[in-house]
Every structure is written in C-alpha cells, then in structure tokens.
Structure 1
Amino acid sequence: MTPNGYLVFEDESFLDSTVAKMNALRKSGQFCDVRLQVCGHELMAHRAVLACCSPYLFEIFNSDIEPHGVSHVTFEDLDPAAVEILLHYAYTAQLKADQELVKEVYSAAKRFKMDRVKQICGDYLISKMGSQNAISFRNFASSMGDNRVLAKVDAYIQDHLLDVSEQDDFLKLPRLKLEVMLEDNLTLPSNGRLYTKVLNWVQHSLWENGDQLEQLMEEVQTLYYSADHKLVDGGLVIEGHPEVFGGEEDHLQFVQKKPPRESTQRPMSCSSSGSLSPSGAPKQSSRTEWKYIASEKTTNNTYLCLAVLDGTLCVIFLHGRSSPQTSPSATPCLLKSLSFEAQPQELEERLLSPMHYARSGLGTAALGGKLIAAGGYNREECLRTVECYDPKEDRWTFIAPMRTPRARFQMAVLMGRLFVMGGSNGHSDELSCGETYDPVADDWTQVPELRTNRCNAGVCSLDNKLYVVGGSDPCGQKGLMNCDAFDPVAKAWTNCASLNSRRHQAAVCELDGFMYAIGGAESWNCLNTVERYNPKNDTWTLIAPMNVARRGAAVAVHAGNLFVVGGFDGSHALRCVEVYDPARNEWRMLGGMTSARSNAGVALLGELVCTVGGFDGNDFLNTLEVYNPETDEWSDGTDGFSSFSSSSG
C-alpha cells in the first residue's frame, strides 16, 4: 500500500529473525564487546543489548573510561547459569529457568535492576509456595527486600500457620518462651494486640536494658497480664519496679534510660542518602523490621506466634498461668525518673500496603476519598494500569486501565472525572492524546488531542477548565512556555498567556482561583522560581521562589497552603518538603519524607498529604507515605492513617 504517496511495508518475520541471529552471534562470540566474568565463567555479549535491558549495566557501561574497547564486568556472588538465563532473556524476551534456579535468577535480576524479571520470578515463587517452603520463601523475600512478595507470603502463613509450624524450617527457627501470669478468671486474648505488646517488651529489653536477643532466648521469660489488658514485666513487678507495656492504645510505655542501639533519626538533608554506584551493594536501611505475622491457639492458654524481632524471624511460645499471690491485684503505675521526659522509642508499626507496581512519573489524584495512581514508568515499560488505594482498608485494587500506556504526565480531577493529557508511551517522545475516566462506568474515553505534543507537562483544573502548562519540546531537552485550556463542555482547546520561563517537570496546581507553576527545569537547569496565573486577566506573575530548586516535584493543597514534595535538584532525588503561604508570600521547610522521591505522586486524603511511588535515586518505588500537618511528620506505617476516619467525617 502507498497511502499519501509513501511506501509502507512491514516484515512480520524480521524481528524474530533478527533476534535469533543476534542471540546466535552472542553464543558464538561474534562482534561481542563485553565479557561478564561470573564466578570463573566467562559470558560474552553485546553491551548495547545489555544496556537496553539492564539499567545497572547501563550505568557501568556509561561510566566506562574506554567505551570502544571490550568491557570486563566481574561478579563473584552470582550464579553463572542464572546470568546466562538473563542474557537469553535480554536477546529473546524469553525467560526459561528450572525451578531450582528461580531464586538465583531473581537475585541476579535484582543486581541488574531488571524489575520485570524480578516480578515474574516473585510471582512464580508465590505460585509454588506451600507449607513446606513458606519459611524459606519468606527468608528469601526478606533478604531481597521485596515487600510485595513478603506481603503474599505473610498472608499465606497467617492462613496456614499450624501446617507451617510442623515443617523442619519452622522447627529450626529461634524460639522465645514466655510465661504470662494471669489474674483470676482471665484468659489471654487470641489476636495480634497481645503480640504487639510482646514485641514492645522485647524491643524494650533490647534497647533499654541492653539485652541481646540470644540472651532472651536462653530461658523462660515471665510477664504479667492484668485485667485492664496491660502487659507488665513480671520480674520487675516482683522486684517492686513495674514496667508497663501496651496501654489502651497499644503504644509502648517505658522510661528510656539510654539511646537505642541503632539511630533511627533521619538525616536533616534535602538529598537522598544513597547514590548510584556500579558496586551493586544494597542500601542499608536504618529501620529494623519488627513485625507480628501470625498466631494460633494450640491448647488451653497456650499460643504459638511467628514474628520478626529486630530483623530475625522467631517463634514465640506463650503460656498463660494463674499469677502467684505476690503479684499485684491491679496494674501498677509507670514510675517517673530523671529521664522520663526522653523521647520513647516506639515499636515500628506495620508498613502501609505498597502498590502492585513500582511507578515513577505517574499521575495521581484523590477521587471519592481514595487515592488514584495511574500509569508511570517502572524501568521496563510505560504502564497503562491504574490502581486505587482505600485508606480505610489499607488496600490497593485495580480499576479500568488507561487506553494508552503513558508516563511523565500529571492527572487532574474536573467535574468528578479524572483527566490525563500527553506524556510519553516509551516509544514516542511526546503524546498529544488525552483521556478521561468516568468512575461510575469505570471506563476511560478519549478527549480531543493537544495542539502540541508534550511530555512532562503540568495539568490542573481551574474554573471548570483543564489547563496544561509547559512540558518538554520534541527533543526533550528544552522546556516549553505554552499554556492551553480545555473546555469539557465545548470539547475545545484555547491558548492562554505563555509562562515567563520555559518549564518542564514543573509541579502545577490550583489554589484560591489561581494556578501555580512551581519549579521544573529550563533545559536541564533546575528552577526554584514560581509563577502564578490569574485567569481573570490571563497573566502569569512571578512570586516568592522556593528554598530548593527542583524538578519532578509533586504538589498538593492543604489548609490554604501549597505542599511541594520531593523532586530532583540536578544531582540527587530529594526527601525535603516545603510549604507556601500565599497570605505571606513565603516558603518554609517542613519535615522530610521517609524516602527520597522524584517524579512521585501526591494527593490529599482527609487531612493527610499522601505521596506514592517515584524514584529515590536508585530504585523505582511502590511505597506510600503520609504527612500529618499537626505533628509535621511523615510516616510509612498504618498509624499514619489513624486520624483518617475522623478527618474524613
């Protein structure tokens, strides 16, 4: 066919033929320019192919001081057979691994930052999980830091704890034996609240008293459980020095006499704590895992529990018995001391559920009291899937996917519907198409295309119109000054006044009848300047600049102020946050996030600012965290939503 005078031909066999020939060249060592030395085995390949599939190898090749020579990359801790499987996948898009090698393939994929392969391997392991291997799967997922797989394994263990407890792996776990003295006519509660108190007590013993976990395992520990559901260290009660663990709100209550073994203070810095490095060493988290997983009542007043204590998977045997006459008849009060005003070290609460997919450059919005996260980029591809977070259930579910995969875009709510415009689909630099989501029909429909293809543009609603601000030029190197408005009733686009500065990856939102374009970049120079648009006279005006220049930040409105979250300052992903007060025309810094995040999403749920996804400078994120303005603190634990019900009415 020759439409419009052009010859158009598509050879359906070309791709398969070319892929097969390239893989044959790799196996024969022809034209190969990289050697992977894996535990004494040499694997030949073409670095251009590997760089396209492995962001980790791309980083190494991109920093090679002799780019035209043959690169040598050495791995002493990977399985050669697993790396060969990844090479085969890189050339053929076919992943073939024996069941015994799947964990090794996962480990190699983690090193190579091949997130899609990690996900496929994780899903395969989950599909093969049973009572016999649940513990080993959990240990593996924990060592890999895969929260998605961990959540699946823990859910399985919760449903099959007694079956799991009969397996050899379970029997070999460290054991903590607790004897709980009970007041007359009391029985132990068969739920997680009791074990939250027990974890509090263990953490207190390790941090306050300086005990080692191994020491606690050596003998039976005695605790006291009172009628008002408080847990008391039995030894201290007998000595006349009561320590109480777990009040009505299950918070740890003790007098801190010395600092914890590990500092949990977060750095007061805008930059991320880690940086890109070809070493492949995982980032060390300052947060140690403490988690109740599952429990079962085995006999009368005897309980079996599986929990993570200070990062160690342990079994807790808990036996209740009547208390001796020397025990107090009521829970003693907490003693005050000179150090009573010290900040108590609380048990790390359960983390908020992560998204199913890691996403950077995603679109987010609050709709119907829920957080919507759409599209984005996860290293392997641009996504069209859309996830919905319910804060009351701490659960992510999928809604209808977008018609077009897209990343590097923003999303806005207009007349009860979601709107997305432009972005990138991973193949074209910019998109002109847009679509809108109807929550009643759970369906996306197309809207008239933009006049200018654009990526990294800001989007917001103002005066019942949708505005698209700035973005990238066709080469992606220079910001645009364009501003366009879409009327959903007339289904037509109109031009607005241009920005004062070229901007792409700016954060855009509406506040009190004005539209704000915040930061972004002109070319690749990050900006701290901020412009405000007045729709009444179609003008942009510069206002007070931010404290930190940033592109790829996210913005939300709370209590009449703008909250600008994370971003990239030209060298680091940021964790710092600042707020703009329009009445004073000034910016001030707030408490930093738990994770550095650039190109993340943000939305307001109730009175809490929520941010999700993004890129921390090393990994694409699927995690969620919330900011409580009353405490000026960010939290990635479920306690962060404790005020949601009251704040949302």
Structure 2
Amino acid sequence: MIQNGYLIFEDESFLDSTVAKMNALRKNGQFCDVRLQVCGHELMAHRAVLACCSPYLFEIFNSDIESHGVSHVTFEDLDPEAVEILLNYAYTAQLKADKELVKEVYSAAKRFKMERVKQICGDYLLSKLDSQNAISFRNFASSMGDARFLSQVDAFIQDHLLEVSEQEDFLKLPRLKLEVMLEDNLTLPSNGKLYSKVLNWVQRSLWENGDHLERLMEEVQTLYYSPDHKLVDGGLVIEGHSEVFGGEEDHLQFVQKKPVRESDQRQMSCSSSGSLSPSNQAANAPKQTARREWKYIASEKTASNNYLCLAVLDGVLCVIFLHGRNSPQTSPSATPCLMKSLSFEAQPEELEEQPLSPMHYARSGLGTAALNGKFIAAGGYNREECLRTVECYDPKEDRWTFIAPMRTPRARFQMAVLMGQLYVIGGSNGHSDELSCGEKYDPRTDEWTQVPELRTNRCNAGVCSLNNKLYVVGGSDPCGQKGLKNCDAFDPVAKTWTNCASLNIRRHQAAVCELDGFMYAIGGAESWNCLNTVERYNPENNTWTLIAPMNVARRGAAVAVHAGKLFVVGGFDGTHALRCVEMYDPARNDWKMLGSMTSSRSNAGVAMLGDTIYAVGGFDGNEFLNTVENISVGGNVSLLTHLKVSSLKPYSKVRVDKHLSWLFVSF
C-alpha cells in the first residue's frame, strides 16, 4: 500500500514468527546473555527481553551495566517450573500454568514485579476459593502481602465460617479457649466488639504480663466481663476470693504471670521457628511487637453463649473458642450434689490419726491403674508443666516410688491394663497438641515401648480393656470444641486398629470401664455442657445402648469397679469440682448417691486394690493435688447408699461398722 508517498506494509505473521524464533533461541541457549540459577536449575535468556517484562530484573541488569559478559542471577526460594512459565510468558505473551503451580507462579511474579501476571494468578485462585481451601489461601495471601487478595478471602470466610471450621486446615490452627463470666444482668456485646476486647486482652497478657501466646493456648482461660464493659482476667477479679470462680484444671485456668522454668528456657532456645511465639522482647519492647498484625476476621455464635472466631493474634492465624456463662456467684449449680438429706457426721471418738504418703508430684488429668497389687499414677499436669514421670504406690509399705518414665509427656488421658501390661493412648502434651501416639509398659523390664498410633489425634478419650483388646472411646476433636462419637479397638497380637460402633452421644472426658463383659461410657461433656447420660457397649453385637443416667452430670470423673458395681468419683459439673460419689447397680439399672470424698476432685485418678478404692490427685477448684484418699468397701456395699462422711480432719481416719472407711492425706 502506498499512502502519502510512503510504502506501508503490515506483516501479521511476523510478530508471532519472531516471538517464536526468539523463544526457540532462548531454549537452545543461543545468543543468551543472562543465566537464572533457580534452586540448582539453570535457565538461559536474553537480558533485553527480561528487562522489558520485569521491573525487578531491569533494576538488576541496569546496576550491572558495565558487565559485557553473561550475567548470573540466583534465586534459592522460587520454583524452577514457575520461573520457566514466566519466561515463556515474557517471550510469547501466553501464560500457561498447571493449576497446582499457580501459587508458585504468583510468588515468582511478585518477586519479578510482574503485576499483571500476579493479578491474573490471584483472580484464578479466587475463582477456585471454597471452604476447603480458604485457610490455605488466606495463609498464602498473607505471606504475599496482597491486600486485595486477602480482603476477598476474608470476606468469603466471614460468609462461610461454619463450613470453613469443619475443614482439616482449620482444625490444625492454633486455638485459644476462653470462658467469660457474666453477671446475671449482663450480656456479651456483638461479635465484632466482643472480639476487639478479646484481642486487647491478649495484647495486655503478652505485653504487660509477659505471657507467651503458646502458654495462653495450653489451657482454657477464665475472663470476667465487668459491668463497665471491660474484659479482664478472672484471677484479678477474684484475688483473695477464689471460691467464687472455682474451676477445673482444663476448663477454668486463672491467668497469672509465671516465672520462666528451665523447661521453658530449653524449649524457647530449641524453637528457632517459633511460629506461635511472640517476640521474646515483647514485655520490654511493646512498640516493636505492636507492628505485628492483630486482626479480627470472622465469628459465629455456634450455640447458646458459645462463639467461634478466626483472628490474627500477634501475626499468627488462630481460632478462638469462647463460652459465656453466668457467674457462679449469682447462679446456682445446675447439678447440685443432692447430699444434704444424707448427712452423717463422724463421732469424735471414732477419729484416729493415720496419715498416708502423698505422691511426689501434684497431678491432674493423669492416668491411673492397678497393676500387680500396686497403684500406678502416670503423667498429668502439675500446673507448671505436663509430666511424663510415673509413680507406683505400695499400700503395704505406704510408699510411692518412681518407675520408668513414659516416652512422651502427656495428660488428659486414661490408662488400662491389657495382658499384664499398661497401655496409654493419646492425650495432650501440654503444648496445645493432641497426641495420636501410644505406648505400653512392661513391668518385667521396667520399660515403655511404642504401640501403633491412632488414626486421629485425640485427647480426653476413655480407655479400657475388654476381651483382650484395648478400646479408645470418644475424646476431644482436634479443636477441643466438641466431643467425638468415635470408638476404636486395638488388637495387641495383630497390632492393628479397627473401628467399632459409634457412641450415641458425643463425649469427651467420659469415665470408661469394663464390667461383666460390657464396656461403659459414663458422663463426660458433649461440648461445654456436662452430661449425666451413660452408655453400655455390647461387643457381641457391636452396639451402644443408653442406660439409666447418673444423678449428677459430671465430666472428668473417675470410675472403679468392685463386686459387680460401678463407683463414679468426683468430676466437674460445669460450675464446681465435685466431692460426691455414686454407685451403679447393673442388676437394678439405677444409680445411688454415696458418701462424699473429703476433697473435691476433677480429673483425678482411681484404682481398686483389694477391697479399697484409692482416689489420687486431681484439681479441687483451686489447687492441683497430690493427696490420696481411699474407701474400703468390704463385702457390704449396700451400706454406702445411706452414708455420707464429711468434715474429716486432715490426717484422720473414720471407721463405720468396719465396712466403710475414708482416709484423707494432706500434703
């Protein structure tokens, strides 16, 4: 075409042909003057082409303008396939990436400052956003610092939090459990305002009290919502009046500043990544820590006074579980012990001082069992840390001695004897991690060895032996938000786990035992609410059946078996640690209230030695215990249904008709 004296010709195929030839030259290494070293892979290219597409590489090449040879640029944190995809785009203007590589292409494009590619990859990922991948996408968007991408993911989570909360990625997140006490005339504020107060409380705990986020997450924290609409530590409100807010070791834990222990120092020095650890200088340098992200993302009310929240705490994506309830000071217990009409006071002349030796360690959430005429107490919490030590009590010598410690520190587990060996399964290691590992103790060699792991991590599960198999019943889900219906059986000969019929009701912290060829799951909690329901498992037809309920709803209770009866001891009723005891008679299918222990005990351990039931350790609402008390039931268990022993002095023993004796030992 001739126009205004000029020859004008447009070759529509030239550009495509030239681009294809240039890309071919690149792949063949011809005329290339830059080498990209990407994680051990060498990619050849032409500086002029890359400089036109990547502002980042342009800056590098421009600073190396004096070089007349081949430039070398090294990347140790990019995916070689993703960089190759970007090189193809630079030469052909075509972006073609497998869906599994889109995140890596996005990351490489961010490094190269190729904003158009980054936006295209982000839009593609958002088009694939669903409840299953929302958490991983948010983590990715946060790591990339992409505010647009992040805001859209957060908006999705806000609209679909309950669906997101059921996914595996969500269940693996660190979690903070809070219980907020309310006066009767107060209600919790709307979700956004409520969790802004929670974030402020966590900040104060980290900066002012010197706490660590990991430590706050180990146990449920008790807070108080004051009439002036402030959220404060329960321990500060009740200082000097701990009976008002008495609680259980894994349910109500007052926040307090604790000295750094040797194990803490060792853990902090070994934890180089510290994904949950705030800056060690947080208390002394709050301005530096304050620059880390604190953000409320989404929340839902899951049940009456139960809230679920996703938030960023000190730069860490966390789940917050919050339960609001009326202060026990203004609200009576929902499950009173019903013992006032059964009072029996010991006569002074019947008291006889007779102390027993306490355990070396205070323990709550421990595992206990009777083995070869001895009482075994393993693991548990002692407020300071999770234990792996194991103590053995000889009733003939009234002496506690140590046997080989467990391989893993653990608490919130139960222990059972199977084929002459002790088995422990699951539990918690004290660092907000539920365990799937198990181990067994051989008394002949005084050694613990590993057993095959559970299929899922689980704590607060019931464990007992039945028909030469080990059963694990219920327990907490990975978030600790609700109980499980799962029941699994372990064959020690085949060394395999199999599924059994599920419970009728979700349960964690249930007392589990075997009696006359049946297995019983007693009480526990479904989520926050304590249960008085009881189920019985028949191994012949693999079914669970609900039987008569207890008189008192309780979780964290202990159970012993004697003379064809079940004895359920202590526990926690949702407000108080309990002293009361009740007995189940399977022939009559009913429960009778018995005498009370001297101490309230939740998450204690019991075992039967001869005609005597021993109760050890636990949490009384204020202290972690190493005390021991026992009841000698003898041959006439029916006497217990009409008696209560109360107001016993420390180091005293009361005898009633030679069939009943409570013995309390103080430490």
What TM-score results when the alignment is normalised by the length of structure 2? 0.49
Asked whether 1:553 is paired with 2:536, we answer no
SS in 1 for 2:593: strand
For 1:270, give the aligned amino acid.
Answer: C
Larger radius of gyration: 2
Closer, same or farther: CA 61–347 of 1 in aligned 2, 3 Å: same
Post-superposition shift, 1:426?
Answer: 1.0
Aligned ranges for residues 431-442 of structure 1 at < 5 Å?
Answer: 431-442=435-446
Closer, same or farther: CA 91–371 of 1 in aligned 2, 3 Å: closer
Post-superposition shift, 1:74?
Answer: 11
For residue 617 of structure 1, the aligned residue among 593, 614, 621 is 621
Write the distance in 1 (CA, Å) between the matches of 2:418 and 2:234. 53
Equivalent residue number for residue 46 of structure 1: 208
Asked whether 1:486 is paired with 2:517, we answer no
SS in 2 for 1:549: coil
Write the distance in 2 (CA, Å) between the matches of 1:70 and 1:371. 38
Equivalent residue number for residue 390 of structure 1: 394
Equivalent residue number for residue 365 of structure 1: 369
Post-superposition shift, 1:46?
Answer: 1.0
Post-superposition shift, 1:357?
Answer: 0.6
> Are the aligned partners of 1:553 and 1:566 in contact in 2 as well (CA < 8 Å)?
yes
For residue 270 of structure 1, the aligned residue among 337, 350, 362 is 337
Asked whether 1:447 is paired with 2:451, we answer yes
Q: Once the two structures are superposed, what CA deviation does each residue of 1:111-169 show, in whole Å capped at 9, x if it has no partner? A: xxxxxxxxxxxxxxxxxxxxxxxxxxxxxxxxxxxxxxxxxxxxxxxxxxxxxxxxxxx
Asked whether 1:350 is paired with 2:417, we answer no
> Are the aligned partners of 1:34 and 1:70 in contact in 2 as well (CA < 8 Å)?
no
Write the distance in 2 (CA, Å) between the matches of 1:70 and 1:462. 45
Post-superposition shift, 1:555?
Answer: 0.5
Post-superposition shift, 1:349?
Answer: 1.2
For 1:614, give the aligned amino acid.
Answer: G
Post-superposition shift, 1:524?
Answer: 1.1
Write the distance in 1 (CA, Å) between the matches of 2:237 and 2:486. 49
For 1:412, give the aligned amino acid.
Answer: A
Post-superposition shift, 1:346?
Answer: 3.8
Closer, same or farther: CA 527–348 of 1 in aligned 2, 3 Å: same
For 1:414, give the aligned amino acid.
Answer: L
SS in 1 for 2:349: coil
Q: Which moved more, 1:518-527 or 1:631-640?
A: 631-640
For residue 516 of structure 1, the aligned residue among 500, 510, 520 is 520
For 1:423, give the aligned amino acid.
Answer: G
Asked whether 1:470 is paired with 2:537, we answer no
Write the distance in 1 (CA, Å) between the matches of 2:220 and 2:568. 31
Percent of pairs with identical residues? 70
SS in 1 for 2:211: helix
SS in 2 for 1:522: coil
Write the distance in 1 (CA, Å) between the matches of 2:584 and 2:234. 49
Equivalent residue number for residue 564 of structure 1: 568
Post-superposition shift, 1:90?
Answer: 8.0
For 2:447, give the aligned amino acid.
Answer: D
SS in 2 for 1:620: coil
For 1:568, give the aligned amino acid.
Answer: F
Write the distance in 1 (CA, Å) between the matches of 2:234 and 2:418. 53
Q: Once the two structures are superposed, what CA deviation does each residue of 1:53-99 show, in whole Å capped at 9, x if it has no partner? A: 799x997865666657999979999xxxxxxxx876489968xxxxx
Write the distance in 2 (CA, Å) between the matches of 1:451 and 1:554. 26
For 1:513, give the aligned amino acid.
Answer: G
Asked whether 1:626 is paired with 2:630, we answer yes
Write the distance in 2 (CA, Å) between the matches of 1:49 and 1:514. 47
For 2:369, give the aligned amino acid.
Answer: A
Post-superposition shift, 1:415?
Answer: 0.2
SS in 2 for 1:618: coil
Aligned ranges for residues 495-644 of structure 1 at < 5 Å?
Answer: 495-630=499-634, 632=640, 637=651
Write the distance in 1 (CA, Å) between the matches of 2:573 and 2:237. 33
> Are the aligned partners of 1:526 and 1:569 in contact in 2 as well (CA < 8 Å)?
yes
Closer, same or farther: CA 51–353 of 1 in aligned 2, 3 Å: farther
SS in 2 for 1:446: strand
Closer, same or farther: CA 505–271 of 1 in aligned 2, 3 Å: farther
> Are the aligned partners of 1:272 and 1:572 in contact in 2 as well (CA < 8 Å)?
no
SS in 1 for 2:596: coil
Post-superposition shift, 1:461?
Answer: 0.1
Write the distance in 2 (CA, Å) between the matches of 1:375 and 1:384. 5
> Are the aligned partners of 2:489 and 2:497 in contact in 1 as well (CA < 8 Å)?
yes
Closer, same or farther: CA 381–495 of 1 in aligned 2, 3 Å: same
Write the distance in 1 (CA, Å) between the matches of 2:263 and 2:622. 27
Post-superposition shift, 1:353?
Answer: 1.0
Alignment RMSD (CA, Å): 4.3
Asked whether 1:405 is paired with 2:409, we answer yes
Q: Which runs of 5+ in 2 are unaligned?
A: 1-38, 40-75, 80-103, 108-200, 241-256, 266-334, 660-667
Post-superposition shift, 1:596?
Answer: 0.6
Closer, same or farther: CA 87–404 of 1 in aligned 2, 3 Å: closer
Post-superposition shift, 1:429?
Answer: 3.1
Post-superposition shift, 1:270?
Answer: 2.9
For 1:479, give the aligned amino acid.
Answer: G
> Are the aligned partners of 1:625 and 1:637 in contact in 2 as well (CA < 8 Å)?
no
SS in 2 for 1:372: strand
SS in 2 for 1:345: helix
Write the distance in 2 (CA, Å) between the matches of 1:482 and 1:92. 34
Post-superposition shift, 1:379?
Answer: 1.4
For 1:403, give the aligned amino acid.
Answer: R
Closer, same or farther: CA 269–417 of 1 in aligned 2, 3 Å: same
Closer, same or farther: CA 87–358 of 1 in aligned 2, 3 Å: closer
Aligned ranges for residues 202-281 of structure 1 at < 5 Å?
Answer: 270=337
